[in-house]
Amino acid sequence: MKNKIQKTKMYTYHIKDMMFVGTCKKNHLKVALCIVFGIIALVVLIIPHVMTTHKYIHHRRLTRYATDLKYILFWSKSKHQRSRLALNKPSEFLPGQKMFINQKCPHINCYITYNKDTLNNAEDFDAIVFEIDDIIKVDVNFINLTRSPEQLYIFRSSETPEKHPLCHHDLDDFFNWTWTYKLSSDIPQPFLNIHYTNHSIIGPVTKMNWQTKKLKRSSSIASKIRHKKKAVAWVLTKCKLKTKHQDFIKEFKNEIRGYNYTLDIYGPCGKKKCPGGSAIKCYKMLEREYYFVIVLEEYLTEDYVTEVMVSAMSHLVIPIVLGPSDYSNFLPPGSFINVQAFDMSKLGALIDYLIKNPDMYEFFFDWKKYYYYTVRPRTQVCDLCTKLNEYNGSNVVKTNFRKWWDPEYKDVCQRMKLYKYFNTDV
Ligand X SMILES: *[C@@H]1O[C@H](CO)[C@@H](O)[C@H](O)[C@H]1NC(C)=O
Between 220 and 394, whose beta carbon lies closer to ligand X?
394
Between 126 and 297, whose beta carbon lies closer to ligand X?
126
Applying CB under 6 A, which part among 58-66, 135-143, 217-225, 355-363 lies near ligand X? Answer: 135-143
Considering only residues 77, 82, 107, 224, which one is a binding residue for ligand X as defined by CB under 6 A? 77
Considering only residues 223, 345, 395, 423, which one is a binding residue for ligand X as defined by CB under 6 A? 395
Should residue 76 be labelled a site residue for ligand X when binding is judged by CB under 6 A? no
Q: What is the DSSP letter of 180?
A: E
Residues numbered 25 to 54 that lie near ligand X (CB under 6 A) are none
Considering only residues 35, 39, 397, 418, which one is a binding residue for ligand X as defined by CB under 6 A? 397
Applying CB under 6 A, the site for ligand X has a residue count of 19
Residues numbered 177 to 196 that lie near ligand X (CB under 6 A) are 196
Residue 56 to residue 48: CA distance in whole angstroms: 12
H-type helices in 56-186, by residue range? Answer: 79-88, 98-102, 132-135
Should residue 223 be labelled a site residue for ligand X when binding is judged by CB under 6 A? no
Between 14 and 403, whose beta carbon lies closer to ligand X?
403
Applying CB under 6 A, which part among 98-106, 147-155, 328-336, 357-365 lies near ligand X? Answer: 147-155
Residue 96 to residue 72: CA distance in whole angstroms: 9
Should residue 146 be labelled a site residue for ligand X when binding is judged by CB under 6 A? no
CB of 144 to ligand X, least distance (A): 4
C-alpha triplet 164, 404, 417: angle, nearest 5° = 45
In this structure, the number of other CB atoms found within 10 A of the CB of residue 113 comes to 16
Considering only residues 3, 67, 219, 394, which one is a binding residue for ligand X as defined by CB under 6 A? 394
CB of 33 to ligand X, least distance (A): 54
Asked whether the beta carbons of 398 and 175 are under 8 A apart, the reply is yes
The beta strand positions in 363-412, using DSSP E, are 371-375
Between 181 and 370, whose beta carbon lies closer to ligand X?
370
Considering only residues 76, 118, 160, 176, which one is a binding residue for ligand X as defined by CB under 6 A? 176
Amino acid letter, residue 396? V
Considering only residues 3, 88, 91, 200, which one is a binding residue for ligand X as defined by CB under 6 A? 200
Should residue 149 be labelled a site residue for ligand X when binding is judged by CB under 6 A? yes
Residues numbered 248 to 277 that lie near ligand X (CB under 6 A) are 260
- How many Å is the maximal CA-CA distance in the chain? 149
Look at residue 319 and give its three-state secondary structure.
strand
Residue 379 to residue 99: CA distance in whole angstroms: 9
Between 3 and 394, whose beta carbon lies closer to ligand X?
394
Between 219 and 392, whose beta carbon lies closer to ligand X?
392
Asked whether the beta carbons of 178 and 186 are under 8 A apart, the reply is yes
Should residue 209 be labelled a site residue for ligand X when binding is judged by CB under 6 A? no
Should residue 396 be labelled a site residue for ligand X when binding is judged by CB under 6 A? yes
Q: What is the DSSP letter of 112?
A: E
Q: What is the DSSP letter of 44?
A: H
CB of 97 to ligand X, least distance (A): 23
Should residue 173 be labelled a site residue for ligand X when binding is judged by CB under 6 A? yes
* Residues in CB range of 309: below 8 A, 6 or more apart: 191, 192, 295, 319, 321, 330, 331, 373
CB of 396 to ligand X, least distance (A): 5
* DSSP H or E run through 280: helix 279-289
Binding track over 277-316 against ligand X, x by CB under 6 A: ----------------------------------------
Should residue 141 be labelled a site residue for ligand X when binding is judged by CB under 6 A? no
Residue 295 to residue 308: CA distance in whole angstroms: 7
Considering only residues 68, 90, 142, 219, which one is a binding residue for ligand X as defined by CB under 6 A? 142
CB of 223 to ligand X, least distance (A): 24
Asked whether the beta carbons of 379 and 92 are under 8 A apart, the reply is yes
Residue 60 to residue 54: CA distance in whole angstroms: 10
SS (H, E, C) 236-257: CCCCHHHHHCHHHHHHHHHHHH
In this structure, the number of other CB atoms found within 10 A of the CB of residue 145 comes to 15
Contact residues toward ligand X (CB under 6 A) are 77, 138, 142-144, 149-150, 152, 173, 176, 196, 198, 200, 260, 392, 394-397
